[in-house]
Structure 1
Amino acid sequence: MSESVEIRTLYDEAAIAARVEEIARQVAATEPHRLLVVAVLKGSFMFAADLVRAMHRAGLAPEMEFIHLSSYGAGTESREIRVLRDVESDVAGRDVILVDDILESGRTLAFARDRLIERGAGSVRIAALLDKPMRRKTAISADYVGFECPDKFVVGYGMDMGHKWRQLPFIGHVVQDAPA
């Protein structure tokens, strides 16, 4: 038995690039210049890299950090959040932008935000490439949003399904046929 998988494009490379530049300009216009960007790994790595480069072009020179949280494993349903790698920098008094690929249930970003606030961050704002509000389980919203995401499982541009398709330069949704 095999399963046929098709990936249909939701947001192409050009749309993503243009939106990342717009977000960077918004950040540059509203955030302090001594900014710490904390990327939530693994899914946000492409978005975070493109965003900090765009911030540079917009006149900011943010510092960069990473937090590696796991809530999916190899599946498609969020479960318990585990810290696999923590932020190493002292965040006390710092203005932080937490960058993630998708704001869905909100549990992972709320966990990361609360962790930074507990450590004394001066402010924590959220930049999410995709916002899927219909799946929200926690009262949280992003300050900077790339696109509102339909209620579909998405892959590409850093996001995966079972560790596949992170490398795609676009964001697509997975269409699965019944097993043959």
Structure 2
Amino acid sequence: MIEVRKKQIETLFDERQIAAEIDRMAREIAGRQPENLLVVAVLKGSFVFAADLIRALHRHGIAPEMEFIQLSSYGSGTTGGDVRIVRDLDGAIADRKVLIVDDILESGRTLLFARDLMLARGATGAEIAVLLDKHMRREAKIEADYVGFRCPDHFVVGYGMDVAHAFRELPFVGRVI
């Protein structure tokens, strides 16, 4: 446990565990030999995971291109509401194999929206890779194709994930005690 910003943070998944899972996921993705792969990172929480994943894909012989989309389903609280596009993709995705990368799969509404959007825009396929899966929180019928860790039912921070814009810089996933 460490103290950051006068808060105690308990480590759930450390740097070494995360690196090993990302390498495993990249090896699994590369094993499918995706051609013309476009990685679409869902901002903001996935930016650290997406960066590490594309470098791991490179080490396994895959040369993806990268895009970013920012989606929101939070509104004034942390659940409910419709999913909306805050920042859209810059380029076209028609006739591309898309790998949607997000930090965490909880309710599934945002990732279901993202997958359906990619397919509606002409992607030849849209798979999902998440660092964390909180299956117990699922509301939509969707599963990730690649999962790093099953996450306990805690609010998590670090490795790009935040609470009120804090703790994104932590090199591990933890929870505020």
TM value normalised by structure 1: 0.90
Q: Which amino acid aligns with 1:27?
A: I
Per-residue Cα deviation, 1:24-83 (whole angstroms, up to 9, x for no partner): 110100141310000000000000000000000000000000001123368544543221
Equivalent pair of 1:39/1:48 in contact (CA under 8 Å): yes
Question: In 2 relative to 1, CA 74–60 (structure 1 residues): closer, same or farther, beyond 3 Å?
Answer: farther
Equivalent pair of 2:35/2:97 in contact (CA under 8 Å): no
User: Structure 2 regions of 5+ residues with no counterpart?
Assistant: 1-5
2:159 to 157, 160, 175: 157
Greater shift in the superposed pair: 73-82 or 84-93: 73-82
Number of equivalences: 172
Alignment map for 1:82-161 (pairs within 5 Å): 82-161=84-163
Greater shift in the superposed pair: 66-75 or 7-16: 66-75
Alignment map for 1:67-78 (pairs within 5 Å): 67-72=69-74, 76-77=78-79
Equivalent pair of 2:100/2:127 in contact (CA under 8 Å): yes
Determine the structure 2 residue equivalent to 1:43: 45
Question: In 2 relative to 1, CA 21–74 (structure 1 residues): closer, same or farther, beyond 3 Å?
Answer: farther
Moved over 3 A (4+): 72-80
TM value normalised by structure 2: 0.92
Report % sequence identity. Answer: 61
Q: Which amino acid aligns with 1:145?
A: V
Within 2, Cα distance between the matches of 1:57 and 1:74?
A: 41
Equivalent pair of 2:38/2:64 in contact (CA under 8 Å): yes
Equivalent pair of 1:9/1:172 in contact (CA under 8 Å): yes
User: Structure 1 regions of 5+ residues with no counterpart?
Assistant: 176-180
Equivalent pair of 1:104/1:135 in contact (CA under 8 Å): yes
Equivalent pair of 2:13/2:174 in contact (CA under 8 Å): yes
Partner SS, residue 29 of structure 2: helix
Question: In 2 relative to 1, CA 11–155 (structure 1 residues): closer, same or farther, beyond 3 Å?
Answer: same
Determine the structure 2 residue equivalent to 1:54: 56
Question: In 2 relative to 1, CA 162–7 (structure 1 residues): closer, same or farther, beyond 3 Å?
Answer: same
Determine the structure 1 residue equivalent to 2:174: 172
User: Larger relative CO (CA 8 A, sep 6+): 1 or 2?
Assistant: 1
Equivalent pair of 2:50/2:101 in contact (CA under 8 Å): yes
Q: Which amino acid aligns with 2:100?
A: L
Superposed CA RMSD in Å reads 1.5
Q: Which amino acid aligns with 1:165?
A: F
